Amino acid sequence: MLKASALYIVIIIALVIGILCSSLIVAAYFYRNEYQKKFRYDRLQNNINSGVNILLATPDTAYSNGNTFSLYNDDEDSVSLKKIFWGIYDVGSSIAFAQKDTLYKTFSIGYNLDSAKWAALYLIDEDRPLSLSGKTSIIGDVYIPKAGVTTSYMDNKAYQGDQRLIIGAKKISKKTLPPLLAARLIQFHQFSQQTHNGDTSVSRKDSVVQSFLLPTKYVNFKKEAQNISNIKLIGNLILTSDTTITLDSTVIVKDIIVFAKSIKVKTGFHGNCQLFARDSISIDSNCRFAYPSCLGILRFGQPGLVPSQEQIFLGSKCSFAGIIFTYEKTESILKPTIALGRSVKIIGQVYSQGILTNIDTVEVDGSVFTSQFLYKSSNTLYKNYLVNLKLNAKGLSPYYLTGDLCPVAGQKKKVLQWLEAN
Amino acid sequence: MEVLIAMILIIAVFGIAMMIFTNVLNSSLSVKKIRAQAILQEILITVEKANNNNVSQSISVDDFRVDQEIKPYNGNAALIDIRLTALDQNQQKIAELEKVILNKND
């Protein structure tokens, strides 16, 4: 027999319904909250990508000091854009914010290759033919002297490559190389003349990491030669020195820039960086430079009374992805040299204003622009002789981007690498 | 007497519960709006990839009409401002999206 306790039962039912209703309200609140968060996120993503597109489509000088503005004159469409000089590339940062939400992206900017100017080889015309020997292969269009291309027997090596000699179109080169972009060289010159205040040492630190959203961090070693080892150097960081900087194989570098009188890199090093020197860059054997790296000799001053020869040397079995170049404003008697050791592999571009010395079995997937080749045998020097050089302009990735400094850079800017994002 | 109070109470509780339920249902985001947002994002991606991406037009997708308005951005010929608006069958705005994209025809 059930007891007539209707009121109690109703109170219990009311409690259950109350709990159900409150959970319904809470669930609806969280659902709405999350959806609004996603909606804001989508909107900020669109704004941040709009910022990226604006940075890619505007001239280089705009946004160099940073600019915060509303994209569509709305309250919730604010973006902050900045583009900074970062060696042969630029680095852009796009920050979109609405209320307390902020999204950011930093990226390096590259240029597509101009197919009209692109060539596997550009050798200036010094009225001397290009001679091929050994297993040399050249794939891609070439600009060579009027004297043409021949085969030769040298150093006990006959030509054993393709009978067409050059697998691509042959065009006549000029007496000078296509010039490097003056505007970028001016930026380099201005940078080298500025005084960069910052730390004077990186000792007693295990890492220096600086975001591209923050101002550039400088480490100026001044006149003290530095041997950098056992440290992680990442991001918006520039090392400068009036003398020599040596990077040990224990250093982990990513995206940084080094400016010095001379730079040495020890055997076994691997990383991704841009190294610029006034006098020399010496890379020991078995080093790996990941894309996009750069090795550059830049000399803006007059050669001294006793001129020294600028040189980039890559030791045997090194692999390098990016751009190697030499530039001197005033030509000296001793031409700048890029020397490539045995079994060096380069993916990218070599631009030698002076001499390109290759020893043997060098492989370049990309292009070589040079005034002169110099081949060193055990006891003789040969001009414009190529021995066992593999040069393949089609070996580059279709996504390869270059810096605007190079004469083959196209007009369109693209995102080269995403550096940071949230 | 007890039964009468119980009856009034349960009716009141059910009434309030129904009101809450209806309000939550009405105020929650409609599937229609979410779908419209997704459609606009998809169209935006397609337009960004297209070679001829500087044409204003109106297209119908499912039950929506999407107005695509294109205009130059800040006088820069390399950039275009694209505004996509999704309208339902009653010509009511359901969702909107705006972005600055690269002009492929420049």
- pLDDT at residue A305 in the model: 61
Which residues of A are less than 8 Å from B44 in CB distance?
A: 46
Q: How many CB atoms lie within 10 A of CB A231?
A: 18
Residues A263 and A141 in one domain: yes
Residues A95 and A218 in one domain: no
Q: What are the helix (H) ranges across A58-178?
A: none
Which residues of B are less than 8 Å from A49 in CB distance?
A: 99
- pLDDT at residue A304 in the model: 64
Is pLDDT of A378 > 80? no
Residue B45: φ, ψ to 5°: -60, -45
Q: How many CB atoms lie within 10 A of CB B58?
A: 11
| Residues of B within an 8 Å Cβ radius of A | 2-3, 5-7, 9-10, 13-14, 16-17, 20-21, 24, 27-29, 34, 37, 41, 44, 73, 76, 78-79, 81, 97-103
- pLDDT at residue A358 in the model: 78
Cβ <8 Å between A57 and B3: no
Out of B10, B29, B81, closest to residue A10 by CB:
B10
Q: ∠A308-A311-A313 over CA atoms, to 5°?
A: 145
ipTM: 0.85
DSSP string, A378-416: SS-EEETEEES-EEEGGGS-TT--B-TTSTTEEEEEEEE
Residues A141 and A162 in one domain: yes
Is pLDDT of B47 > 80? yes
Q: How many CB atoms lie within 10 A of CB A155?
A: 17
Domain termination residue (choose one: A70, A95, A113): A113
- pLDDT at residue B6 in the model: 87
- pLDDT at residue A1 in the model: 47
DSSP string, B30-98: PHHHHHHHHHHHHHHHHHHH-SS----EEEEETTEEEEEEEEEETTEEEEEEEEEEEE-TT--EEEEEE
Full 3-state SS string of B70-87: EEEECCEEEEEEEEEEEE
End-to-end CA distance of chain B: 84
Measure in Å the smallest separation between the Cα of A165 and chain B Cα atoms: 39
Measure in Å the smallest separation between the Cα of A28 and chain B Cα atoms: 7
Go through chain B and tell me how many residues it has.
106
- pLDDT at residue A309 in the model: 82
Residues A45 and A70 in one domain: yes
- The CA–CA distances, whole Å, from B45 to B2, B42, B57 equal 66, 5, 16
Lowest mean pLDDT among A37-51, A53-67, A96-110, A302-316: A302-316
Confidence of residue A4 (pLDDT cuts 50, 70, 90): low
- The CA–CA distances, whole Å, from A131 to A126, A335, A347 equal 13, 21, 23
Smallest CA-to-CA distance from A25 within B29, B21, B30, B14 is with B21
Place of tokens 């993503």: A45
Residues A105 and A126 in one domain: no
User: Would residue A127 count as lying in a domain?
Assistant: yes
Q: Is the model more confident about A138 or about B30?
A: A138
- pLDDT at residue A313 in the model: 93
Residue B65: φ, ψ to 5°: -110, 125
Burial of residue A404 (CB within 10 Å: 0-12, 13-18, 19+) is buried
Out of A17, A18, A49, closest to residue B99 by CB:
A49
Residues A104 and A195 in one domain: no
| Structural domain harbouring A106 | 6-113
The residue-averaged pLDDT of A189-204 equals: 82
Q: Is the model more confident about B38 or about A378?
A: B38
Q: Which two tokens stand for residue B76?
A: 């820069």
Domain termination residue (choose one: A113, A146, A161): A113
Residues A80 and A63 in one domain: yes
Domain termination residue (choose one: A55, A79, A113): A113
Residues A107 and A134 in one domain: no
Confidence of residue A306 (pLDDT cuts 50, 70, 90): low
Q: What are the helix (H) ranges across A84-241?
A: 182-193
The residue-averaged pLDDT of B71-96 equals: 88
Out of A6, A24, A71, closest to residue B21 by CB:
A24
Under the phi-then-psi rule, with left for phi > 0, alpha for psi from -120 to 50, and beta for the rest, what region is B62? left
Percent of chain B predicted with pLDDT > 90: 23
Measure in Å the smallest separation between the Cα of A115 and chain B Cα atoms: 18
- pLDDT at residue B32 in the model: 85
Rounded Cα distance between A327 and A322, Å, is 16
The residue-averaged pLDDT of A269-273 equals: 93
Confidence of residue A60 (pLDDT cuts 50, 70, 90): low
User: Would residue A359 count as lying in a domain?
Assistant: yes
Residues A99 and A160 in one domain: no
Rounded Cα distance between A237 and A251, Å, is 14
A contact residues 15-54, partner B, Cβ 8 Å cutoff: 17-18, 20-21, 24-25, 28, 31-32, 35, 39, 42, 46-47, 49-51, 53-54
User: Would residue A418 count as lying in a domain?
Assistant: no
Choose from A3-17, A78-92, A146-160, B1-15 the range with maximum mean pLDDT: A78-92
Q: Which two tokens stand for residue B41?
A: 């994002």
Place of tokens 């001793």: A334
End-to-end CA distance of chain A: 67
Rounded Cα distance between A227 and A225, Å, is 7
Fold of B31-102: Pantoate--beta-alanine Ligase; Chain: A,domain 2 (3.30.1300)
Rounded Cα distance between A332 and A309, Å, is 8
The rounded mean pLDDT for chain A is: 89
Residues A224 and A325 in one domain: yes
Judge contact between A107 and A56, C-beta under 8 A: no
Distance of CA A236 to the CA centre of its chain: 13
Number of independent structural domains in chain A: 2
The residue-averaged pLDDT of A208-226 equals: 90
Out of B7, B17, B97, closest to residue A21 by CB:
B17
Out of B3, B9, B24, closest to residue A24 by CB:
B24
Smallest CA-to-CA distance from B46 within B84, B95, B94, B93 is with B84
Judge contact between A95 and A104, C-beta under 8 A: yes
- pLDDT at residue A303 in the model: 65
Smallest CA-to-CA distance from A325 within A409, A414, A226, A223 is with A409
Residues A233 and A375 in one domain: yes
Strands (E), A15-73: 67-70
Residues A198 and A336 in one domain: yes
User: Would residue A246 count as lying in a domain?
Assistant: yes
Is pLDDT of A2 > 70? no
Judge contact between A415 and A186, C-beta under 8 A: no
Cβ <8 Å between B3 and A6: yes
Q: Which two tokens stand for residue B79?
A: 């950039």
Contact A394/B at CB under 8 A:
no
Cβ <8 Å between A57 and B5: no
